[in-house]
Structure 1
Amino acid sequence: MSETTPQPVQTPRPGGPAPHSGTPQPVAPAPQQGPDAAPGYAAPLAAAPASPAPLGPAAPASARPVATAPQAVVPAAPAPQAAPPAGAPRTLQYRFDGPEDAPVLVIGPSLGTTWHMWDRQVPELSRHWRVFRYDLPGHGGAPAHVAASVAELGDRLLATLDGLGVQRFGYVGCSIGGAIGADLALRHPNRVASLALVASSPRFGTADEFRRRGVIVRTNGLEPIARTAPERWFTPGFAAAQHAIVEWAVQMVRTTDPGCYIAACEALAAFDIRGALDRIGAPTLVLVGAEDQVTGPAEARTLVAGIPDARLALVPGASHLAPVEQPAAVSDLLLTHFSTAWQQDTSAAIPVLPSVPGPAAPAAPFAPVADIAPATAAPEAPAPAPDERYERGTKVRREVLGDAHVDAVNASADAFTEDFQELVTRYAWGDVWSREGLDRRTRSVITLTALVASGHPEGLAAHTRAALRNGLTPVEIKEVLLQTAVYCGFPAAGAAFSVAQSVIQEETTPPA
C-alpha cells in the first residue's frame, strides 16, 4: 500500500497533496482509480499534461506482455517542504509505496529524471518491500537546494531516512543514483544491506565532459540537453516506436532546475571511487543496458571486477534508462537479487532467468530478459600522489583547466621540463589556487586580466575555458576584457577578444 500523509495542517484538495509541517516531507500519493491502478498512480488525463507525466504501471511478472507507450497520467504534486532548522541537514523529496512492515528498498533516479523513471518496477517491487523513492534537488518539483557533491546528496538521503526511522535498507540507483548508493555503501556500510547499481560507473566519463555540459546549460539553458536526452537514454528503435515516452523524457529534463542540474554535473565530474571498490561489502548487482553508450558494459565490468561480491547483468535491447526500456527484465533481476540478499544467501550466483517472448515485429522495443555475465580482472588502482600539496594541486588544476589540458601538459613534459611542471602544480595550484580567500570565479577574473596585462595571449584559451567552468558567463568574460582594454591597452584586449571568442563558441555550442 502507499504512504499515508502524516498530520496534515489543513484539509487537502481532492486528488492533491496536503501541506505538512516539519521535515522531511513526503509526496502524497494520488488515489487509485480503476481495477488496474497500481498504488500511488492516478487516473488517465483526457489530454497530455503540461508537466512530465509518470509512466504507466507494468504488467505483473507472471503475465507481462510487450509494453506499449504509456498513457499520460496525473503526477502526484510535491507537498510543501518546510525549511530545516538552522544547522540541520537538508532532506530530499520522497514517497513510499508498499506494506508498512516490509523491509525498505530505496530507489534513486538518474540525472535529469524523477522517481517516475521507476514507475514500472514499483507495482512488483512493492509487493515485497516498502519502496522509498526520492527526487534529486530541483528535479520533479523538488526544492532547488543545490548539492555540491555525491556525498552531500547521500547525506541528505540519510537525513531523510533518519527522520523516518529507517536504519538499514536495500538500495538500487541509476547513474548518479547508483553513485549515491555506492558512496553510502563505502561511508555507511552498516546502513546498506544490499546494493544494485544500474547504468553506473566508478567514474563517469571524464570531468571535462560533465563540466562542459554545465557550461552549455549555464549559457543556453536546459533545452539543448533536453532535446538530445532520448539519444543518450534509449536505443534508436525504442525512441522511434515510443513517442510518448520520448516526449515524457524531454519534458522531465526541461522542467529541471538548471542550477541543480549544473551542480549535479559538477558532482559527477568530481566522483571517482576506482581505488575504493574493494571496500564495498554489500552484495551487489551491476545492471547495464547492452547498448548503453553513456555508462556501458565496460564501466559495469570495472565495477564487478572491483567489488568483492558483485554480479553483472547485461540487458539486451536497452540503453541508459534500462528500467524504462526493459521494465520486465529489470524488475525480474531486481527481485531475484534483493530476495537473495535479504535471505542472506550472498554466496549464491544470480540465476539466468527464462526468456520473455517478444513479438515478431522487427521494431519491437523490448527484448528477452538479461544474461548474467562473469567478472573480469580487477582494475588498476591509481598511483599515489608524491605529497599532499602536489595531490591537492593536481586535483585543482584538473578541475579548473580540465583533464585534456593537464594530460597534454604532462605528456609533453620531459626530463628538462618536468621539474617546472611539478613546481607549477605544487605552488600555483596546490597553494595559491587552493586558498579559501577568493572563490574560483574571482580568481578567473584576476587571471584573465593578468594574462592580458602581461601580454600572454597563449594562456588565454586555457583560462577562458577555465573561467567558463568556474561559472563565468560569456557576457561576464566580455565585461572583463572590456575593462582590460581601458587599463591594459586596446591592442592587447583586441587580441584577447579574438582568442576568447573562439573558445566561447567552441565550448558553448551544443552538440549537433
Structure 2
Amino acid sequence: MTDHRTEGPATAPPLLLGPSLGTSSALWDKIAPELSVTHRVVRWNLPGHGGSAADLIGPGATVADLAGLVLALADALGIDRFAYAGVSLGGAVGLHLAAYHPERVSSLAVICSSAHFNGSKPWEERAETVRREGLAALAETANSRWFTPGYTVPRLVEDHRNADPEAYAACCDALAAFDLRDRLPSITVPTLLIAGREDPATPPAHLREIADAVPGASLTEIAGASHLAPAERPEAVLAALRGHFGGYASRGMEVRRAVLGDAHVDRAQARQVPFTARVQDFISRYAWGEIWTDPTLTRRERSMITLTALVAHGHYDELALHVRAARRNGLTPEEIGAVLLQTAVYCGVPAANSALAVAQRMLAEVDAEGAEGA
C-alpha cells in the first residue's frame, strides 16, 4: 500500500493531499495540521518517495496508474468519497480522478499543475538521464525549479535527492504521457486552481487553461510563489483551501459574496498577498462565517447595525462598501437615510453629515448601474 500519513478526527470529512514529483508528504507540513482541524487529512507519497515502495509502478507508468494507487489507499482506509488537493504531478492525479472517477471525489484543488506538461520529450529525456545517472545532479537544481530566488526547504531537497531513481523515472513517464485537455469539460466536481505567479514549471497560464475549461472552476494566483506554493507560501494556500473545502471560511465566503458582491470579493482576492492572507482568512471565518451567518438577526438588521458602527468610528471607505451591501440586503434609500439620521443623535452631526455624503454618492452609483443593466 502507498505510504501515507493520517491526521485529524476519524469522523471528519476526508481530504487527500498529493505531492509533487521529487517531494514527499513533507510538502504539506505547514498546511496539513491546520486542515486537520476540520478534516481527516491523508497525505500520500509517490512510489519511491518518502516511505512508499519503489516497485508500486514501473517503466511506462501513467497518471491513471498513480490514481489507481490513491483509490486503493482510500479503499484500504475505508474512505468512499473524499476531497482532494494535489501539487504538480499530485494535481494531475486529482484531475484524472475527477474526470474518470467523479463518484469518488467531492471537491478538487489543483495546485501548480497542468492538464499537460509541455509535451513528452522533456520528460522522456529526464527519465533517461535519471535512469542512467541517478538523482544527485538533478537535485542540485531543485531550488531553481521549485522556489523563488533565495528560498529553499532543505527537507524537500533532501527528499528529492533520496528518491528512488527508477520510480522517479517512471513518474516522468507518467508526466510524458499525460494530456487531459479533452476531458476537462467533463469535470463536474467543485474545482479550485491555485497558481504560483513565479512558477516556471507550470505558470499561471496552465492553471488558467484548466479554469477556463472546467465548468464553474475558479482560479487563485499567489504572489511570491514558485512551483511548490504550499511550502513557500503556506498561509495563502491554506486560506484558499479552507475557502474551497468548507468550514466557517467556506460558508463565510458565500455570505461575503452575497452581501458585498462578486466584483468586490474578486478584487479583494486578487490583491491578496502572503502578508494579508491570514487576515483575509480570519475575516472569512469569523466575521462572515460566524457572525453574519448567525440567524438571530436578519441581514437587514445587521446592515443597519454595521452602518451605525462605521459612522461612529469614521470608517467612511468601509461605509461606502456597506451602503451597497445594505441595498443588497433589502434596505431602501429612505431606510438608509433614516439610519444615518439616527447616527446624528448618537454619533454627532459632523459624522452623520460625512456619512450622508458618502451614502448619497454610493446610492447614485448603484442607481446608475441599475439603469445601465436595465
Q: Does the TM-score normalized on the shorter chain lie above 0.5? A: yes
C-alpha displacement of 1:309? 1.7
Alpha-carbon deviation of 1:218? 1.6
Correspondence list, 1:20-419, <5 A: 91-147=1-57, 148-239=61-152, 245=153, 247-339=154-246, 352=268, 367-369=275-277
Residues 277 and 356 of structure 1: CA distance in aligned 2, closer, same or farther (over 3 Å): closer
Unaligned runs of 5+ in 2: 281-374
Q: Quick check: 1:198–1:287 contact (8 Å CA) kept in 2?
A: yes
Does the CA contact (< 8 Å) of 1:353 and 1:369 recur in 2? no
Q: Is the 8 A contact 1:106 1:133 kept in 2?
A: yes
Give the helix-richer structure, 1 or 2.
2
After superposition, what is the alpha-carbon deviation per residue over 1:185-227, rounded to whole angstroms, capped at 9, x for unaligned?
1111011000000011010122101111111112211011100
Contact 2:19 2:46 in 1 (8 A): yes
* 2:243–2:250 Cα contact (<8 Å) kept: no
3-state SS in 2 of match to 1:305: helix
Answer whether contact 1:289 1:315 (CA < 8 A) is retained: yes
Work out whether residues 83 and 245 of structure 2, in 8 Å CA contact, stay in contact via their aligned partners in 1.
yes
Q: Distance in 1 between matches of 2:142 and 2:47?
A: 19
The one-letter amino acid paired with 1:257 is: D
Indicate the RMSD between aligned Cα atoms, in angstroms: 2.4
Is the 8 Å Cα contact of residues 109 and 175 (structure 1) preserved in structure 2?
yes
The 3-state SS of whatever aligns with 1:238 is: coil
Q: Which amino acid aligns with 1:226?
A: A
AA in 2 matched with 1:326 = R
Counterpart of 2:64, as a letter, is A
Instruction: Give 2:343's aligned residue.
Output: none
**Alpha-carbon distance in 2 for matches of 1:92, 1:186:** 22
- What is the 5 A alignment of 1:477-496? none
Deviation for aligned residue 1:249: 2.6
Is contact 1:317–1:367 with CA below 8 Å preserved after alignment?
no
Which secondary structure state, in structure 2, belongs to the residue aligned with residue 170 of structure 1? strand
Quote the sequence identity (%): 44
User: Is the 2:220–2:270 contact (alpha carbons within 8 Å) kept by the matching residues of 1?
Assistant: no
Task: Tell me the number of residue pairs that the alignment of Structure 1 and Structure 2 aligns.
Answer: 266
- Shift in Å at residue 310 of structure 1? 0.6
TM-aligned CA deviation for residue 156 of structure 1: 1.2
Deviations 1:366-388 (A, max 9, x none): 554499xxxxxxxxxxxxxxxxx
Alpha-carbon contact 1:316-1:367 (below 8 Å) kept: no
Over residues 389-447 of structure 1, what are the superposed CA-to-partner deviations in whole Å (9 max), with x where a residue is unaligned?
xxxxxxxxxxxxxxxxxxxxxxxxxxxxxxxxxxxxxxxxxxxxxxxxxxxxxxxxxxx
Partner Cα distance (2:135, 2:117) in 1:
20
Residue 262 of structure 1 and its aligned partner are, at CA, apart by: 0.2
Q: Which runs of 5+ in 1 are unaligned?
A: 1-90, 240-244, 358-365, 372-512
Note closer, same or farther for the CA distance 1:131–1:145 as it changes in structure 2 (3 Å cut).
same
Which of structures 1 and 2 has the larger relative contact order (alpha carbons within 8 angstroms, sep 6+)? Answer: 2
